[in-house]
């Protein structure tokens, strides 16, 4: 089975930097995803890490350490529109079906304040 | 917009009833995954369909079943509805069962009373 842990809520100021952490335990790690989900909407893909290190994409960066079972999402120059839930998800291989399964954490609700 | 559509948008059912939810995948995608997202929780994997066959299943009882059609659209059927089935049901499409990027539809909000 898998266990994914991330903070429930965070608050940060417009223009600031915020780091959302995610720790996981999994039997067959095959990649870690971050999704953004605004209230009442579908998740949208932000980043994917399968190797250790930092992946940068504009204002968003994601880091992975497989040996520590740890990832973080870094959001820079926060904007009000960044207020949303951020979901950490781990993929592992279902060897029986030959397919990947995605297991999500409960999400971190980020509130950006003026 | 991802090109993935779901219907209906909202649905209210009574405990014990049956429901069918529909999903049209993005053009060119042959894999559909279904997720259940309860309020305040992350999505939970129900099952995946690849080329019309079930290809992986999460920890959901058999009363959750599905279909995928030749055009790769998909249905999720839930029998004997329970109050705890109230949730947002999301489908996500991808190309191939190992594709890392899934595109989510807007979801169907199911309320069971």
Instruction: Express each pLDDT in B101-112 by its tens digit.
Output: 788 999 999 999
Nearest partner of B26 among B100, B97, B75, B91, judged by Cα: B91
B97–A102 C-beta distance less than 8 A: no
| Half-sphere exposure for B74 (CA within 13 Å, toward CB) | 32
Pairing of strands B10-13, B108-112: parallel
B107–A42 C-beta distance less than 8 A: yes
Q: How far apart are the first and last CA of chain A?
A: 41
- E strand segments, chain B: 5-7, 10-13, 19-24, 31-37, 44-50, 53-57, 64-68, 74-78, 87-94, 103-104, 108-112
Model confidence band, residue B94 (pLDDT cutoffs 50, 70, 90) = confident
Select the residue of A43, A97, A103 nearest B55 (Cβ to Cβ): A97
Instruction: Express each pLDDT in A63-75 by its tens digit.
Output: 999 999 999 999 9
pLDDT at A98: 66
Per-residue pLDDT of chain A (114 residues; tens, 9 = 90+): 568 999 999 999 999 999 999 999 988 788 999 999 998 889 999 999 999 999 999 999 999 999 999 999 999 999 999 999 999 999 887 666 667 788 999 999 999 999
> What whole-number distance in Å separates Cα of residue B55 and Cα of residue B68?
11
B98–A100 C-beta distance less than 8 A: yes
In the structure encoding, which two tokens stand for residue A3, read together?
């266990």
pLDDT at A95: 63
How close B77 comes to chain A (CA, Å)? 20
Model confidence band, residue B96 (pLDDT cutoffs 50, 70, 90) = confident
Residues of B in contact with A91 (CB under 8 A): 100
In the structure encoding, which two tokens stand for residue A95, read together?
């060897």
B42–A105 C-beta distance less than 8 A: yes
Which one is predicted more confidently, A40 or B47? B47
Instruction: Express each pLDDT in B13-45 by its tens digit.
Output: 999 999 999 999 888 888 999 999 999 899 999
Residues of B in contact with A100 (CB under 8 A): 56, 97-98, 100
B8 preceded by a cis bond (ω within 30 of 0): yes
3-state secondary structure of A80: helix
Residue B65 in contact with partner chain A when CB distance is under 8 A: no
Mean pLDDT (chain B, rounded): 92
């Amino acid at each position: 089975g898998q266990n994914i842990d991330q903070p429930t809520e965070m608050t940060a100021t417009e223009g600031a930097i915020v780091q959302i952490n995610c720790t996981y335990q999994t039997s067959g790690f095959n990649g870690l995803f971050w999704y953004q989900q605004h209230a009442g909407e579908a998740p949208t893909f932000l980043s994917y890490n399968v190797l250790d290190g930092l992946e940068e994409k504009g204002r968003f960066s994601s880091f992975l350490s497989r040996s520590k079972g740890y990832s973080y999402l870094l959001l820079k120059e926060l904007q009000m529109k960044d207020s949303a839930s951020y979901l950490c998800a781990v993929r592992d291989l279902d060897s029986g079906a030959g397919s990947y399964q995605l297991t999500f954490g409960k999400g971190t609700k980020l509130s950006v304040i003026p | 917009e991802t090109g993935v559509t779901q219907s209906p948008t909202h649905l209210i059912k009574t405990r014990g009833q049956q429901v069918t939810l529909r999903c049209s995948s993005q053009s060119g995608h042959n894999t559909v995954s279904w997720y259940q997202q309860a309020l305040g929780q992350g999505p939970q994997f129900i099952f995946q369909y690849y080329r019309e066959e079930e290809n992986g299943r999460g920890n959901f009882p058999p009363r959750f079943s599905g279909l995928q059609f030749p055009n790769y659209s998909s249905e999720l059927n839930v029998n004997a509805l329970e109050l705890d089935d109230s949730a947002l049901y999301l489908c996500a499409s991808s190309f191939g069962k190992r594709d890392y990027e899934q595109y989510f539809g807007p979801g169907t909000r199911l309320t069971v009373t």
